[in-house]
Chains A and B, each alone.
Chain A
Amino acid sequence: MRVSENMRLANTASAQSRLAQRLDKASRIATRGSNVAAPSDDPVAYATKVRSDNALTLIERRSQLATQVSGELDVAEGALSNATDLMSRARAAAVEGANDTLDAPSRKLLATQVNALRDEMLGIANTRYANKYVFAGTKTDTPPFDALGAFVGNDIVTRVPLMNGVEPPANVSGAKIFTNAGGQDILGALKTLADALNANDPNAVRASIDLLDASHTQLVQGQTDAGLASERFRSAIDVMSGTKVAVASTLSKQVDGDPMQQLTELTLAKTAYEQGVAVTRQLLSLSSLTRQ
């Protein structure tokens, strides 16, 4: 085949252009550390990247929420722990007040203490955290118990998504923990005790002990429920953390590629380009005319 001047120049330009394209691609991949930045880099891998990025974002968001909800449930659990303590102290007052040898002024004094415990219990029932009354159901913007101890919240359970289709309860029911909805009216039981002590009626005081025991059990149950719910969110955080690592690892393998391989390709492309330039220079200097 005859080789014309234009052929030599065109072939040289074409070859050099391909080497430049290879170097450009290798440098772009090495710079961003990913084989896939645009859909045309690899349409299938790009779709995987979109799905994985979305999954990672959702996992991240849900993990944050789970941490926050778990914190709220921990606050509820802590409040209920204090409530059970209060109830134990009330029961101790009841046992003391049930003693037939105790005189009326002493029972009055105990009644004052029990009223103070009831006020504390009311404060606990109206616990607020992160701008939410934690025992109010979905009426989280107002205290669930009024000054008289009447429940003005609701018994609606809120749920927060953790994974696809998994939406565990994110609150504990103030109605079931503190009111007759759970079997015992906690504040009512304390009032009954205080009234019995004020009335200097040991029999009534003794009768209230059963109510206090049942109330204590109800509070412990609420505390346990809050703890379990919180634990469920904490476990989910661990699971999501593992899932996140797995998704990120898959994404890295399929999309990011091997950094060493990328650097190696960059080096090879650079060397090839430099050699191409040298060859082009020699080719362009070759001419029968210049050899004359």
Chain B
Amino acid sequence: MSLSGLLDIARSGLLSQSGALGITGQNVTNATTAGYTKRVASLTPQVGGGVTFNGEIRSFDRFAYAHVVQQTGLQSAASARANALASIEAIMAPTTGTIGDRATALMGSLTTLTAYPLDTAVRSDVLSKVGDLSSTISNASRALSEASKELFQQGQGVVSDLNDRLTHIADLNGKIAEAQALGSDASNLRDQRDVYVKDVSERVGARAIEDAQGRVTLFGAGAVLVEGNRTNPLTLDLDPGGKMRITVKGASNIDVTARVDSGTLGGLREARDVDLAASQTGLDAYAFDVANTLNAAHAAGFGSDGVDGRPLFAVSATKAGAASTLAIDPGMVGHPELVAAAGSVAELPGGNSGALAMAALAESDSFGGTTITNRFANLASDVGARKLNAESEKSLRDDTLSLATTMSQSASGVSLDEEMIDMSKYQRAFEASSKVLQTANELLDNFLREI
């Protein structure tokens, strides 16, 4: 080998090691950057000596990443549902002043009425407790409706963000394919696109398949959301039954609602249209049964004016919507003397068998086959069990996502320890190449001096 060849070898070494050092520096700088994939310097030996720096390679495990994308969708769904259920639970069973507490207070007041059927203060207290129970139930029902609206609005925000990301993915598909066709490095573009794919999965659950040109086809909600540079955005509205309806807009609109069970949107849909709907239905049934059972008992008794047949509550004719409209009967408002404490005209004015019949309901299975207390306990426990289930699911998904992320990071993440070693390695190699260059230069100097 000639001395000039040695100089070329030293030159290639200096260029390659400085290129590799640049990649190490890039890795170190992006060690904690979200979505960044570790780069590895591609160095190959030259025929006849020397080394060639071929640029950078993404250290990427597509299977591990696909697992992260999938688990992100499931974890987001569980998280969204658990958060929504926390609100539903707070509405149905606040730490103080629950519907059950109000019902117990009313039954207690009716019990007192048995001993003091003529006492206006006691009669007024009964009406006050009827009002409390009614307003607590109707307020809870309205709060559930508000929560339902809020979840729908959240869903609309999620869909808007999602469609925005679909556009970015389609745009990046085009850029990556173009860069790949030109032989340029598209690593940064891929990193960006991976972040968007994960974002989409976080919102609706997704799966991405890359073609030979570097473009991904993105599947989500049981439909193709992105294909090449074309997007099929989602829309969210309400169906005639008031439930979320999710549609993929493509050549034709496809209703994919039933297939949206992952991502934040899936979690919100389940929380709103399954969990919250069950609570609302349960509350309606509770309000309907409680009001009608107590109304029937009250109607059988007689007010101080000797008139029977009066209801205590104003309640709708059907269970649907019974909770939100529940109120004390307008005819009873401000008229404690009309409380039907007496069981017959004969026992007026101080008879209490009407009050006795109503008070006896406290422990009777007259409220849908169980007691008024059990009825509320079942309602609250159902919400509690749903929230507990959602939290367990979230905990499980947290763990599986963490594991998937760990596996993916193990392949793609930046280890500062490794980078430090690489930095030292390339630094030493650079120094060695410099030494070779210096040695070759000295040899050439000596040779030239000898001439």
Residues in chain A within 8 A of chain B (CB atoms): 1-7, 9-11, 14, 37-44, 46-47, 50-51, 53-54, 57-58, 61-62, 65, 68-69, 131-132, 136-141, 154, 156, 158-161, 164-165, 167, 170, 287-289, 292
Contact = CB atoms under 8 A, between A and B. Distances in A.
Contacts of B353: 158-159
8 contacts: A4-B410, A37-B95, A39-B92, A58-B363, A141-B349, A159-B352, A164-B363, A170-B115
A124 to B, nearest CB: 20
Given A43-B384, A50-B380, A4 B114 contact: no
Contacts of A288: 416-417, 419-421
A46 B101 CA distance: 13
Contact of A6 (B31, B115, B374, B376): B31
Given A132-B118, A138-B351, A288-B421, A46 B373 contact: no
B107 A40 contact: no
B347 interface: yes
Give the one of B89, B115, B376, B384 with max A CB within 10 A. Answer: B115
Contacts of B413: 2, 4-7
Contact of B89 (A40, A139, A167): A40
A51 B373 contact: yes
B89 A39 contact: yes
A27 B384 CA distance: 21
Contacts of B112: 61, 65
Contacts of A38: 89-90, 93, 95, 384
B439 to A, nearest CB: 28
Contacts of A37: 95
Given A37-B95, A39-B381, A4 B100 contact: no
Nearest to A69: B115
B349 A57 contact: no
B274 interface: no
Interface string B104-125: 1101100110110111000000
A42 B353 CA distance: 40
Nearest to A140: B350
B414 A6 contact: yes
Contact of B31 (A5, A50, A164): A5
Contacts of B382: 43
A54 B95 CA distance: 15
Interface of B: 28, 31-32, 38, 85, 89-90, 92-93, 95, 98, 100-101, 104-105, 107-108, 111-112, 114-115, 117-119, 342, 346-353, 356, 359-360, 362-363, 373-374, 376-378, 380-385, 387-388, 391, 398, 402, 405-406, 409-421
B93 A46 contact: yes
Given A40-B89, A137-B350, 18 more contacts: A2-B411, A3-B417, A4-B38, A4-B413, A7-B410, A38-B384, A40-B383, A40-B384, A51-B374, A53-B100, A57-B108, A138-B351, A159-B353, A160-B114, A161-B111, A167-B360, A288-B419, A288-B420
Nearest to A62: B111
**Lowest 3 CB-CB distances: which A-B pairs, in order?**
A39-B384, A4-B413, A288-B420
A5 B32 contact: yes
Contacts of A46: 93, 377, 380-381, 384
Contacts of B117: 138, 158
Contact of B376 (A1, A7, A50, A61): A50
Nearest to A41: B384
A292 B423 CA distance: 12
B89 A2 contact: no
Contact of B104 (A54, A65, A137, A159): A54
A58 B111 contact: yes
Nearest to B95: A37
Contacts, number: 181
Contact of B347 (A40, A43, A154): A154
A44 B353 CA distance: 36
A118 to B, nearest CB: 27
A51 B406 CA distance: 47
Contacts of A57: 104-105, 108
Contact of A138 (B89, B352, B398, B415): B352
Contacts of A7: 405-406, 409-410, 413
A32 to B, nearest CB: 9
A162 B285 CA distance: 30
A6 B31 CA distance: 7
B101 to A, nearest CB: 8
B346 A161 contact: no
Contacts of B92: 39
Given A4-B38, A47-B377, A132-B350, A140 B111 contact: no
A246 B412 CA distance: 62
Contact of A43 (B105, B373, B388, B417): B388
A2 B348 CA distance: 87
Nearest to A3: B415
B443 to A, nearest CB: 35
Contacts of B410: 1-4, 7
A292 B416 CA distance: 12
Contacts of B409: 2, 4, 6-7, 10
B195 to A, nearest CB: 13
A10 B377 contact: no
Contact of B362 (A43, A58, A137): A58
A17 B93 CA distance: 27
A4 B373 CA distance: 55
Contacts of B28: 289
A53 B93 CA distance: 14
Contacts of A164: 363
Contacts of A161: 111, 114, 356, 359-360
Contact of A47 (B105, B348, B378, B387): B378
Contacts of B388: 40, 43
Contacts of A65: 111-112, 114-115
A211 to B, nearest CB: 31
